Amino acid sequence: MPIIEIRILEGRSDEDKERLIQNVTHAVEQSLGAPLQSIRVLIHELPHKHWAVGGKTKDKQ
């Protein structure tokens, strides 16, 4: 059972996240030959203040 965890910044629409889940699931199915019903996708949304690049949080960029 493939389990895919994705971390993204919060703020994307439900439609965007649903499309991401569908596309990732399809890619795993094609790449590994895994049955759709066995593929798990977990999305972790992080607040901008918990995500930093170059020592600066995204809420301050």
- What is the pLDDT, as a whole number, of residue 44? 98
The topology (CATH level 3) of 3-60 is Macrophage Migration Inhibitory Factor (3.30.429)
13, 50 contact by CB (below 8 A):
no
Alpha carbon distance 20, 30 (integer Å): 15
Which whole number is the average pLDDT over 50-60?
A: 89
- What is the pLDDT, as a whole number, of residue 59? 84
- Is 35 annotated as catalytic? no
Tens digit of each residue's pLDDT (9 = 90 or more) over 25-37? 999 999 999 999 9
Catalytic residue among 1, 2, 36, 61: 2
Task: Please tell me the total number of residues recorded for the chain in this structure.
Answer: 61
